[in-house]
Amino acid sequence: MMPLAMVNPGSRVKLVSVNGGRGINARLAAMGLLPGVEVEVLSKDPGGPFILEVKGGSRLIIGRGMALKIVVV
C-alpha cells in the first residue's frame, strides 16, 4: 500500500482508504472516490494537480495534498 501521490502516470490502482477527516472523506466520496474503486493516474505534475480517470471514463483533478491522503494498492 502507498499514497496515490507515489503512483506513476499510466498505472491503474485500487483505492483502499483515505487518511483524513470527515470533510475530505465526504468530498472524495462525492467525487466517487470510495474504497474499492479503481482509478488510473493519467498525469501528475511534480508540485501540482493529478488527473485521474475513474471507472466509466470520468476524469477528476485533485491536488497533491489530497493525493497524499489517499491510500492505494
Residues 29-50 pLDDT 10s: 999 899 999 999 999 988 789 9
User: d(Cα 7, Cα 17) in Å, to the nearest integer?
Assistant: 15
The domain locations on the chain are: 2-72
Per-residue pLDDT band at 53 (split at 50, 70, 90): very high
Q: Which CATH superfamily is domain 2-72 in?
A: Ferrous iron transport protein A (FeoA) (2.30.30.90)
User: How would you classify the pairing of strands 38-44 and 70-72?
Assistant: unpaired
Please tell me the predicted confidence (pLDDT) of residue 52: 96
pTM attached to this predicted model: 0.89
Position 5 pLDDT exceeds 90? yes
Residue that has been written with the C-alpha cell 483515505 in this structure: 18
